[in-house]
């Protein structure tokens, strides 16, 4: 059991039949009246964010989120298949569980499958992925006075903005946490 006075960022707990994760918290002690805890909570199943205030003595049951590494195998239209690397079982998931960052994941990539009480609710791709640039315009020489970027299509079909010096056929590193931003050229 967690009391609201023990809240920290990342804590997961159950409230009204839902599972919430603390995104922000603030302990407030006004000059008059009782202290309270102001929080911003994310519903881990639906992704919605709400703001709530609690008395520091309120208690909530802890929610255990299981994170299991599985390898993305293939898709057959609407279902995406992930393989448990210990048992080799295939787990099919709907596209709505994948999230926006999944467009940077190619086959055979290891992802984290998040579940609560055996029910999968989300897929967490790796923070950084190395992908091949399959299509981009050539950079114009002398066009580098500022941070000029251009569109590039990656091997997964996703499109991102890259610096002018990136060419077709190069491998680049992408940060999936912020919607897919260019980080650097790969060293291999």
> What does the pLDDT look like over 112-140, one tens digit per residue?
988 888 888 788 889 899 999 999 888 76
Q: Which domains does the chain have, with CATH numbers?
A: 2-60 (2.30.30.30), 65-124 (2.40.50.140), 128-185 (2.40.50.140)
pTM above 0.75, yes or no: no
End-to-end alpha-carbon separation of the chain, Å?
49
Band of pLDDT at residue 145, cut at 50, 70 and 90:
low
């Amino acid at each position: 059991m967690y009391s609201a006075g023990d809240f920290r960022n990342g804590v997961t707990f159950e409230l009204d039949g839902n599972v919430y994760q603390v995104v922000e918290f603030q302990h407030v002690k006004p000059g008059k009246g009782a202290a309270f805890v102001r929080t911003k909570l994310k519903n881990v199943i639906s992704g919605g964010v709400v703001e709530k205030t609690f008395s520091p003595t309120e208690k909530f049951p802890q929610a255990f989120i299981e994170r299991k590494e599985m390898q993305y195998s293939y898709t057959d239209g609407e279902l995406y298949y992930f393989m448990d690397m210990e048992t080799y079982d295939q787990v099919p998931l709907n596209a709505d569980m994948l999230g926006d960052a999944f467009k940077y994941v190619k086959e055979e990539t290891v992802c984290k499958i998040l579940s609560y009480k055996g029910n999968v609710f989300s897929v967490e791709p790796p923070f950084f992925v190395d992908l091949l640039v399959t299509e981009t315009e050539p950079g114009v020489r002398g066009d580098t006075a500022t941070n000029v970027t251009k569109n590039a299509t990656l091997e997964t079909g996703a499109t991102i903005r890259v610096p002018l010096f990136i060419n077709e056929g190069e491998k680049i590193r992408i940060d999936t946490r912020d919607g897919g931003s260019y980080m650097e050229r790969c060293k291999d």
